[in-house]
Amino acid sequence: MLQWKEESQGETALLIEGARRVGKSTLVRQFAQNEYKSFALFDFSKVSKEEKALFEDLSDMDFFFNRMRLLKGISLYERETAIVFDEVQKFPVARQAIKALVEDGRYDYIETGSLISIHKNVDNIIIPSEEEVIDLYPMDYEEFLWAMGDAESMDLFREAWQKKRGYGDAVNRKLMRDFRLYMLVGGMPQAVSKYIATKDLSAVDKTKRGIIRLYRNDFQKIDKTGKATTLFMSIPSQLANNANRFQPSTVIDKTRAEQLESLVFMMQDSKTVNVCYHANDPNVGMDLAANRSAYKMFIADTGLFVTLAFWDKNFTENVIYRKLLNDSLSVNLGYVYENMVAQMLVAAGNRLFYYTFPDGNKHNYEVDFLLSRKAKICPIEVKSEGYNTHRSLDEFCKKFSSRVDERYLVYAKDLRKDCETTLVPFYMTGLI
């Protein structure tokens, strides 16, 4: 956001997009307060009729800003005032006004919008080309550590990563205990705040249930068939089946491929889920060879995933909380870690792809994630517990040896090398 402010110098507006309750409004208000001499806030979830009426006539900008001064009771300073349009999807006319306002050039403009509806409310407006977009995701592990009062650990992780030398098994066990708390609480700011205030995971679970209900209601509004809602709620069970792709036919009625692809795109666009597509040709530019009908779907926040996995049970019956805290998560609950790795890779700016190929015995090898790095690819295998072998990773690297750069196995033990494979503890996933 600072980079946009310094480089744009008022030539573009900034649009912060993200899922509901991910912290957009808080972030933007704090930024405007810290970085500008004054700011005007239009919260379109509760804006007055008088404030909406401002945008009916932009023919005289001086008159427009004078009315704004009177309505908001603030002073406006050229190049030192930010005007914030919060929840802009609820009043598309204001979003359309961005073009004229940016052209005027006196002030900076920051918008926030929830993707689940922002792309549905633009039918009758001209989308401004003067927008720069930043995607906001749940708090990553470093931000979670900051919230918990730890400003040093991630810097130490980076140092260890550069040297490719771990801290030893005893320290790693302590670091994994800290990390498992992040998996349970998640990165939604409201859930993190609840944990800091109460240290009560049952209270955190109630908070997360409220967020999931919001998502369900939003999906229902834009997909009256209910299929998007059903797909979202079935993600934990789909991952638990350990299939090499999401199987929508097991949870919804037969749906045309085009309609299903549209639903999945809408869900991905909402930032409530992370979609990992099968790369038919695992190489640089995997998006061009992605199979849109073969994919895995993850919840964008693993804290929400843990709650959703036991949606129909009480908090006390959610065995994931108990087993994760006790470090006794069984292999059949390892999909929680896979969801966590997906979340951390996306937060670090990666697109998600995976690859499967036959092993010659009527089964498949599967590489969980493929990352593009310059002219090469980096395969990743995820192990929820310790490891004995990483056969899928080894066979993939033989098959595509000329395309592979670094290879990684992400697991619960200490950072180390195993021949050409780097074994990465979960809490360092974002450094890959």
Query: End of a domain among 136, 166, 181?
Result: 136
Domain shared by 123 and 177, yes or no:
no
- Domain boundary (136, 160, 195) is at 136
Q: What is the pLDDT of residues 237-263, one digit of tens each?
A: 999 887 778 998 888 888 888 889 889
Residues whose CB is less than 8 angstroms from the CB of residue 208 and which lie 6 or more positions away in sequence, other chains included? 186, 188, 191, 303, 304, 306, 307
Q: Please count the other Cβ atoms lying within 10 Å of the Cβ belonging to residue 344.
A: 23
At 280 the pLDDT is 93
Question: Once rounded to an integer, what is the mean pLDDT over residues 89-93?
Answer: 89
Whole-angstrom Cα distance, residue 135 to residue 268? 12
Q: Is 80 exceeded by the pLDDT of residue 394? A: yes
Residue 165: Cβ within 10 Å count: 13
Strand partners, 299: 273
Strands 416-418 vs 421-425: parallel, antiparallel or unpaired: antiparallel
Whether residue 72 is found in the same domain as residue 181: no
The more confident residue out of 252 and 211 is 211
**Residues 187 and 140: beta-carbon distance below 8 Å:** yes
Same structural domain, 225 and 157: yes
Task: Specify whether the CB–CB gap between 194 and 203 falls below 8 A.
Answer: yes
User: What is the structure's pLDDT at 285?
Assistant: 86
pLDDT (mean) for 353-364: 89
Q: Which of 3-12, 30-39, 139-148, 244-253 has the lowest mean pLDDT?
A: 244-253
Q: Which domain holds residue 209?
A: 141-431
| Residue 120 predicted with pLDDT over 60 | no
Do 355 and 256 share a domain, yes or no?
Answer: yes
Measured in whole angstroms, how far is the alpha carbon of residue 223 from the centre of its chain?
Answer: 21
392 and 409 co-located in one domain? yes
Residue 73 pLDDT class (50, 70, 90 cuts): very high
Per-residue pLDDT, 125: 57
- 338 pLDDT above the threshold of 70: yes
CB atoms within 10 A of CB 61: 14
| Whether residue 148 is found in the same domain as residue 110 | no
Q: Mean pLDDT across the stretch 124-131?
A: 71
Q: Where are the alpha helices (DSSP H) in 46-200?
A: 49-53, 61-72, 92-104, 115-118, 141-147, 153-163, 169-185, 189-198
So what's the pLDDT on residue 181?
Answer: 95
Output the pLDDT for position 331. 60
- Looking at residue 387, its pLDDT comes to 66
Work out the average pLDDT over 375-403.
Answer: 89
- DSSP code for 384: S
User: Which pLDDT belongs to residue 241?
Assistant: 84
- My answer on whether 212 and 75 are in the same domain is no
User: Which pLDDT score, from 0 to 100, does residue 384 have?
Assistant: 80
| Cα 16 to Cα 114: distance, rounded to the nearest angstrom | 9
168: confidence class by pLDDT, cuts 50, 70, 90: very high
Quote the Cα angle for 97-103-108, to 5°.
80
Residue 209's pLDDT is: 97
The DSSP output letter for 404 is: B
For the chain, the first-to-last Cα distance in angstroms comes to 24
pLDDT digits (tens, 9 = 90+) for 278-330: 999 999 888 888 998 999 999 999 999 999 998 988 887 888 888 887 877 77
227: left (phi over 0), alpha (psi -120 to 50) or beta: alpha
- Are 208 and 116 members of one domain? no
- Asked whether residue 90 falls in the same domain as residue 114, the answer is yes
Which secondary-structure segment (H or E) carries 371?
Answer: strand 369-373
What value does the mean pLDDT of the chain take? 91
Least confident of 3-7, 33-37, 125-129, 393-397: 125-129
pTM value?
A: 0.91
pLDDT confidence bin for 363, thresholds 50/70/90: confident
Mean pLDDT throughout 332-341? 88
Mean pLDDT to the nearest integer, 59-78: 96
Buried b (16+ CB within 10 A) or exposed e, 79-111: eebbbbbbbbbbbbebbbbbbebbeeebbbbbb
Token pair in block for residue 220:
């229902």
Domain match, 182 and 43 both: no
Angle at 388 between CA 429 and CA 430, to 5 degrees: 0
Q: Beta strand pairing status for 376-382 and 369-373?
A: antiparallel
Q: Are residue 332 and residue 272 in the same domain, yes or no? A: yes
- Number of neighbouring beta carbons within 10 Å of residue 395: 15
What's the structural domain count of the chain? Answer: 2
Last residue of a domain, one of 136, 152, 177: 136
Provide the CATH number for the domain around residue 16.
3.40.50.300
pLDDT band at residue 116 using 50, 70 and 90 as cut-offs: low
**pLDDT exceeding 90 applies to what percent of the chain?**
75
Same domain for 76 and 187? no
